[in-house]
Amino acid sequence: MASSIGDSGPYTGEVSPGGAPDTRELAGLVVTKLAVDPKMSNNCYLLRCRATDEQVLVDAAAEPQRLLELVGASGLSKVVTTHQHWDHHRALADVVAATGAVTVAGEADSDAVTEQTGVVVDDRVRHGDTIEFGEVRLEVIHLVGHTPGSIALVYDDPQGTPHLFTGDSLFPGGVGNTFGDADAFRTLVDEVSTKVFDRLPDETWFYPGHGNDSTLGAERPHVAEWRERGW
């Protein structure tokens, strides 16, 4: 996938564990995507405010040393955990210990994150809350279904199109795994339909918790098919 208008550099979002990160430069925000753990291939996203150099990490999934090298001398203001599943926060304790970053997670998943990592969640966010660093504002979208407290983060670029970090709630080709729970699947499809597709434009670029990126426009025609197939 090519970079969208206003970006500099050939960002594709195609990364692999052990490989180099990929960086997208927006007018006010720099997004660096890194894949960790060959088995789970989790995506971690380092977000840097261009005006202040303040940084936020989305999902300290694994390989804390690589994440800390990515963070570098600018330090880390916050770590956002998109949901409670173990593969998305294995490096959380080490990253927080090294940086002193404030921890953020969805309210309904925060207790589980603390139980699994030993790290207290400082900011337990709800739908519609904002996460701010430097001059950047991320809006929290609470998406029930993959877990009770999964969150997505939308950066509504003042000089471009929206950018959405979806955790494991939305991927190219479908919504996140609901582990055979039909009710949870219906809930997640409804949540993604009303809170994401009904609200954000086709040009919205989204960054999932695993694998390649996509746009809402590429996925929108298939939402009815996802609902029909039931997974």
Q: Is 25 helix (H, G, I), strand (E, B) or coil?
A: strand
**Is 14 contained in some domain?**
no
pLDDT band, very low/low/confident/very high, at 231 (cuts 50, 70, 90)? confident
B/e letters for 144-173, b = 16+ CB within 10 Å, e = fewer, are: bbbbebbbbbbbebeebbbbbbbbbbbbee
CA dist 162 → 9, 150, 201 (Å): 18, 19, 8
Does the pLDDT value for residue 39 go beyond 90?
Answer: yes
Question: Tell me, what's the pLDDT at 182?
Answer: 95
Specify the pTM: 0.95
Q: What pLDDT band is residue 9 in, cutting at 50, 70 and 90?
A: low
Average pLDDT value for the chain: 95
Summarised one tens digit per residue, pLDDT across range 170-217 is 999 999 999 999 999 999 999 999 999 999 999 999 999 999 999 999
Q: Is residue 80 part of a domain?
A: yes
User: For residue range 105-162, what is the model confidence (pLDDT) as tens digits?
Assistant: 999 999 999 999 999 999 999 999 999 999 999 999 999 999 999 999 999 999 999 9
Longest dimension (CA), the chain: 49
Within 8 A by CB and 6+ apart from 122, the residues are 102, 103, 104
Residue 96 dihedral angles phi and psi, to the nearest 5°: -65, -40
CATH number at residue 152: 3.60.15.10
**Is the residue at 6 inside a domain?**
no
For residue 22, is pLDDT > 90? Answer: yes
Segments forming the whole domain that contains residue 142? 22-229
Reported confidence tier of residue 8, pLDDT bands at 50, 70, 90: very low
Domain count across the chain? 1
CA–CA–CA angle 51, 126, 225 (5° rounding)? 95
pLDDT higher than 80, residue 33: yes
Q: Which are the contacts of 164, defined by CB distance < 8 A and separation ≥ 6?
A: 141, 152, 153, 154, 155, 196, 200, 204, 205, 206, 207, 216
Closest CA to 74 of 15, 133, 27, 119: 133
Residue 17 inside a domain? The answer is no
Residue 187 lies in a domain: yes
